[in-house]
A and B are shown apart, each in its own frame.
Chain A
Amino acid sequence: MMRFLRRYLWPRWVRSGRVLLGLLSVLAVLAIAVVAPVLAPHDPLAQDLSLTLRPIELRGVYPLGTDGLGRCVLSRLMFGARAAVLVALPAALGALLLGGGLGLAAGWLGGRVERAVGWLAAAWVAFPPVVLALLLVAGGSGVAMAAMLSAWPLFCRVLRAELQAVAGRGHVAAALMLGFPRGQVLWREVVPAVLPAALALLAWVAAGAVGLEAVLAFLDLGGAPDRLSWGRMLADGWEVVFLAPINLVAPGVVLFSVMAGLALLGDGLRGTMGLALPEARLADDAMAGDGP
């Protein structure tokens, strides 16, 4: 598996601008989320009612100013990254495991399992994701759980379709003929082939989860009223937009760049993952005589 990753996925990533840009923004957010307590100039919850709605002063005490309660905008942005990561990461990974597992099981086992999973996924996507998440959050589930439950059918359907394209190939039949147990054939011959699609989808779903978290926080749903989240900052900044526009602009820009970064990452991965050969062959099959 390790060798597969090294050879099969690594080389062309590095050369794709989209992937680099996306990775950069994702890694930056992750790093900030981890070291926020060290990096942040202030306690994000500490109020300084004598200095409310300060404008940007890059060299001042509050580099990006303060909000209506005198809280440091920069610190709040940094801690807000934690909320985004804590929702996006478990939601995307959970959806991958749940949806991907169901999708692969359905495609590989076929028959009754396939029909049941197919119906379930179809019924599930009949609800718009945001409405579904609202219902789930209103029902008391966590935001990450809501994001995961609204995203799993995506993995399920995409991976099942990918599997169906791969399952008919000769190397899968050959592995079956050699006597590998069916489960091992799935793991050895099919999973690596559908992995690029799964990883690309992972990035897209993570972007969706970050957005969903912001929407829910904006609507003040599913969490403490004073929680730190970009969505909450947007809602607060909305009220003071004419007095201190930075309160709306800063979380908006951050939210946009993180989601765009993730989307770029997914896009780039889908475009560049695949077999990268050290010696690229001519596009035309008729010319592929370069073997010794």
Chain B
Amino acid sequence: MSPAAILQARGVTRRFGGLVALDHIDLDIPRGIVQSVIGPNGSGKTTLINALSGASPADAGSIQLDSREISGLKPHRIAQLGLARTFQNIRLFANLNVLENVKVAAGCRSAESLFGIVTGNRNHRRTETAIDEAAREALHTVGLIHRADDAADQLPYAQQRLLEIARAIATKPRILLLDEPAAGMNMTESLALLETISRLKSTGITVLLVEHNVRFVMDISDRVAVLDFGKKIADGSPAEVQSNALVIEAYLGRRRRHA
């Protein structure tokens, strides 16, 4: 494998009954880039994220994060090792406020003893301060710091998506998987999101961006992979993918016909 690849997937396969949702997917994501995965509805994009993150593990195949095999690990271990994700259908913690939502993730590697928590000793106070700072920083990055004390489920839709991203980056990931982060956003919000993603990239986080909307990803992506019916049909620079005949037929062409 190329030493620069932060995430390497080989032969990742996922079946639901008779349906093959992912069919031997290979993917190499070089460190520090924005890699997009596009494809029509039902092509297996979310299934791929679920398989990579361990939420709904692959039936076969190998997944390596920084040369370490992570397939078969529990999702929280994968998160602690540096792979974070957001959800297409937003999953915030409704009984926690905005800041606490992020704090859950910011505390993912701090092992606190119950004794320390109950007595409120120095070690505990130090940990809490560190978590608080990390969580506020993550909120700052996505521009939600002014909502820190609000209830998470009272945020407008677009801000809930941003909170998902803040929560994910608070785990200090090496790679961040974004599952259709722009869904339901208007033009201004989408543009702001693109800016946030490039900011994340500039801080050294590798981003895997799953999108339905092709135009949205073309400018920001360094590489684009295309899924169709669970198979990877193309992978390359945005320009290469856009001119790929298979892609035009399977995805862009079909869209045009529908439009």
On whether the two chains bind one another, the answer is no
